[in-house]
Structure 1
């Protein structure tokens, strides 16, 4: 006998759709709600292919819909920008769990992949936890660390995190559905809360940084063809410049001095004592 009468996944991306498919295979009544930010949605197309009930809703519409639910319902938040208000979290018929792509002791909130890279953490952490009235402070269901290499970007880390998140969810789904997992309150320290509007150093490279910090910043802002955190920029001679791409070039010997110059529509950055050169290509003024 099912503990829950229905499951609602709130989120976007492939992970949210795959979680829906998992419940669909278990014969649960399943729906996916996506916080509406545009008229076009790749998630909608994926749901149509998999015959998953899909709704694109504004924040207020999600809240009203959840407040109206009377059935015993499991809500799974996966790659989700909607914040659950107290009126929803406090409903006794709703159990809410959330995927968080970071270490709760270091980073809470949004775009944690970027903050993990920018702050040069040694590892990333994938966490599933129950949702309470405070952001990313619920009891932990399960978590796993991910090794990061020196070339990790936000887009590549997101992919790794999504794969681990799905693995952990499959591992724990039976216990979640049976009510056997209550979570553990092993968080005595909680990390800084990153809001969706927050951007590492407000999107600006500082020439005073060492090469490792500059490199970490560029990789943190790197979402491939997307500008999830906006376009990063640099100040040079009183003007702000953006770029199409960046290159990391290994030099034969350490640079003898700091250098920041424009050369053939590129900005070249060198730091004294470093064998790395950063090249910002196809620059233009903001």
Structure 2
């Protein structure tokens, strides 16, 4: 097998799973970590930077990668749990293309907080989409999709953990094709897109004029320990709806 130059944009639990798998099978040429990764573990997951450094994987950023692309061929880019937008200049320089794993059944719920909005809107199913990255966010051709049910007891954290497990399975499937030089088939997105902005529903606050079902869905959609739980105001006082074990901990800020 000819050695391939693969760039990995990675973060969160999915990114760590992918990075560890690649280290064992075909290490990435460079890692571009999320901006909020300072090299230390947080309340949710191990630092991707720490894993890379402990295993000799070089770390870079978009600016440096643009210059690198001018000097050597990049065969593939893989994005797993990343919050970094890849510049078009880098995408254009990649020989075979860039692959991403999105937490919804595209074209539904493009953009951020896909699992949150799916629960809030009362969806019965969602899933994971493995797709090529194009010039428009989450509009590239679809490689694989896997559907799974949204149960009445599922919270945003539950759903994202299911997504992570299913996305890792799809990653291993497509990565095997890359290593074996097999053609990666894909299909165009034909249906109209259902796009959600990069903000949480109602800015994370309960509207008590909603019906009971909508409030229930909202609370589930906003429950993702250790991030800030759903809240509401009485006068100028802010209250949270959370389990006792959660409110005793520090909250994480949502990644930018």
TM-score range, shorter chain: 0.7 to 0.9
Offset at residue 110 of structure 1 (A): 1.2
Q: More displaced, 186-195 or 20-29?
A: 20-29
Deviation digits for residues 154-210 of structure 1 (CA, Å, limit 9, x no counterpart): 111111111001111222323344250131114322121432xx1111112111111
Question: 1:163-202 maps to which residues of 2 (within 5 A)?
Answer: 163-177=165-179, 178-195=181-198, 198-202=199-203
Deviation digits for residues 72-95 of structure 1 (CA, Å, limit 9, x no counterpart): 321111111111222122225252
Q: Considering only CA atoms, is the larger Rg found in Structure 1 or Structure 2?
A: 1
5+ residue gaps, structure 2, are: 41-46, 249-256
Partner Cα separation in structure 1 for residue 178 and residue 109 of structure 2: 25
Q: Identify the residue that residue 207 of structure 1 maps to in structure 2.
A: 208
CA RMSD in angstroms comes to: 2.4
Paired residues, number: 237
| Cα distance change, pair 27–125 in 1 and its aligned pair in 2 (3 A) | closer
RCO (CA 8 Å, sep 6+): is it higher in 1 or 2?
A: 2
Q: Identify the residue that residue 102 of structure 1 maps to in structure 2.
A: 104
Q: Identify the residue that residue 238 of structure 2 maps to in structure 1.
A: 241
| Cα distance change, pair 192–67 in 1 and its aligned pair in 2 (3 A) | farther
Match of 1:45, SS? helix
Q: Identify the residue that residue 39 of structure 1 maps to in structure 2.
A: 38
| Cα distance change, pair 151–21 in 1 and its aligned pair in 2 (3 A) | same
Q: Identify the residue that residue 253 of structure 2 maps to in structure 1.
A: none
5+ residue gaps, structure 1, are: 248-280
- Kindly indicate whether the alpha-carbon contact (under 8 Å) linking 1:107 and 1:190 is maintained by their aligned counterparts in 2: yes
Q: Identify the residue that residue 87 of structure 1 maps to in structure 2.
A: 89
| Cα distance change, pair 141–66 in 1 and its aligned pair in 2 (3 A) | farther
Q: Identify the residue that residue 21 of structure 2 maps to in structure 1.
A: 22
Partner Cα separation in structure 1 for residue 223 and residue 212 of structure 2: 17
Q: Identify the residue that residue 221 of structure 1 maps to in structure 2.
A: 222
Offset at residue 21 of structure 1 (A): 2.9
Offset at residue 246 of structure 1 (A): 5.1
- Kindly indicate whether the alpha-carbon contact (under 8 Å) linking 1:20 and 1:52 is maintained by their aligned counterparts in 2: no
Q: Identify the residue that residue 119 of structure 1 maps to in structure 2.
A: 121
Partner Cα separation in structure 2 for residue 98 and residue 221 of structure 1: 25
- Kindly indicate whether the alpha-carbon contact (under 8 Å) linking 1:140 and 1:184 is maintained by their aligned counterparts in 2: yes
Q: Identify the residue that residue 258 of structure 1 maps to in structure 2.
A: none
Partner Cα separation in structure 2 for residue 46 and residue 40 of structure 1: 9
- Kindly indicate whether the alpha-carbon contact (under 8 Å) linking 2:29 and 2:58 is maintained by their aligned counterparts in 1: no
In terms of fraction of residues, the more strand-rich structure is 1
Q: Identify the residue that residue 141 of structure 1 maps to in structure 2.
A: 143
Offset at residue 48 of structure 1 (A): 4.4
Partner Cα separation in structure 1 for residue 155 and residue 99 of structure 2: 27
In terms of fraction of residues, the more helix-rich structure is 2
Q: Identify the residue that residue 44 of structure 2 maps to in structure 1.
A: none
For normalisation by structure 1, the TM-score amounts to: 0.74
Q: Identify the residue that residue 254 of structure 2 maps to in structure 1.
A: none
For normalisation by structure 2, the TM-score amounts to: 0.82
- Kindly indicate whether the alpha-carbon contact (under 8 Å) linking 2:8 and 2:28 is maintained by their aligned counterparts in 1: no
